[in-house]
């Protein structure tokens, strides 16, 4: 079985929010899809270990923000690689309250959808929640929604271990030039610092070796410090 085939499937990148009575959480998901149009129904696959899973199971509702290509990696990191049990997920994020009472992430969102859960399916590590759409609207008509391929290729993003599409080994990268500075991998989130690309969001220009990054530089995805990085083999 050639599991690299799974990388050929197309996805988007979304923030899923859920909760009730003032207690809410949000997480990144790439597996959101429309199931039927009449009535409009969505499915989302959520890892049972994720805090958002508990929230959806209890509140029976969720909201989806469709992220734009311009979404900074720091925001994806805040929702994708940090647990809502440990941090305030919505800190510094602009949020609006939806018809369902759920917080809808408005920053860098192309559009949002709110749904009420009408069914779920146990899939081992994950649950697929079916949600009937109760409200949806465009937030930024000019912005392009981010595809999962764009997230990986252009943003250098990785899948956390709880993602349905997580694979232990990333597919082989195209052949690299013979001599080049080493790449370093974040041991927390898997982000790779590539000297050829630098870190545009951290104002690090291409061509800066990892060794030469400022001591206070942190992982643009999860905020880990430099000593949490390992040189790529």
Tell me which residues touch Fe ion (CB under 5 A): 186, 188-189, 191, 219, 221-222, 224
50 vs 127 by CB, closer to Fe ion: 50
Element at 114 (helix H, strand E): strand 109-123
Contact partners, residue 23, CB within 8 Å, separation at least 6:
55
115 vs 222 by CB, closer to Fe ion: 222
In the complex, the smallest distance separating the C-beta of residue 180 from Fe ion, rounded to whole angstroms, is 22
- Which residue, among 54, 55, 56, has the nearest Cα to 44 in the 3D structure? 56
129 vs 193 by CB, closer to Fe ion: 193
In the complex, the smallest distance separating the C-beta of residue 188 from Fe ion, rounded to whole angstroms, is 4
- Strands of the sheet containing 192-193, edge to edge, are 192-193, 184-186, 229-231
191 vs 210 by CB, closer to Fe ion: 191
Instruction: Compute the distance between CA of residue 4 and CA of residue 36 in angstroms, rounded to an integer.
Output: 29
In the complex, the smallest distance separating the C-beta of residue 186 from Fe ion, rounded to whole angstroms, is 3
In the complex, the smallest distance separating the C-beta of residue 210 from Fe ion, rounded to whole angstroms, is 13
Instruction: Compute the distance between CA of residue 180 and CA of residue 187 in angstroms, rounded to an integer.
Output: 22
């Amino acid at each position: 079985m050639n599991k690299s085939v799974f990388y050929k499937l197309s996805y988007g990148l979304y923030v899923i929010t859920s909760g009730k009575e003032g207690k809410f959480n949000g997480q990144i998901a790439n597996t959101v899809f429309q199931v039927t149009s009449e009535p409009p129904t969505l499915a989302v696959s959520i890892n049972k270990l994720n805090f958002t899973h508990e929230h959806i199971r209890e509140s029976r509702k969720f909201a989806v923000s469709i992220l734009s290509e311009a979404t900074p990696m720091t925001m994806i990191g805040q929702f994708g690689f940090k647990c809502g049990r440990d941090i305030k997920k919505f800190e510094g994020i602009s949020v609006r309250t939806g018809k369902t009472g759920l917080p809808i992430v408005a920053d860098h969102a192309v559009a949002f959808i709110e749904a009420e859960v009408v069914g779920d399916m146990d899939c081992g590590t994950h649950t697929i929640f079916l949600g009937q759409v109760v409200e949806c609207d465009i937030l930024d008509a000019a912005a392009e929604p981010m595809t999962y391929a764009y997230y990986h290729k252009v943003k250098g993003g990785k899948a956390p271990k709880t993602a349905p599409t997580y694979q232990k080994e990333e597919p082989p990268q195209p052949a690299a030039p013979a001599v080049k500075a080493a790449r370093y991998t974040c041991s927390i989130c898997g982000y790779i610092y590539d000297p050829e690309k630098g870190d545009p969001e951290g104002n690090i220009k291409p061509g800066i070796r990892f060794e030469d990054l400022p001591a206070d530089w942190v992982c643009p995805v999860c905020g880990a410090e430099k000593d949490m990085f390992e040189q790529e083999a």
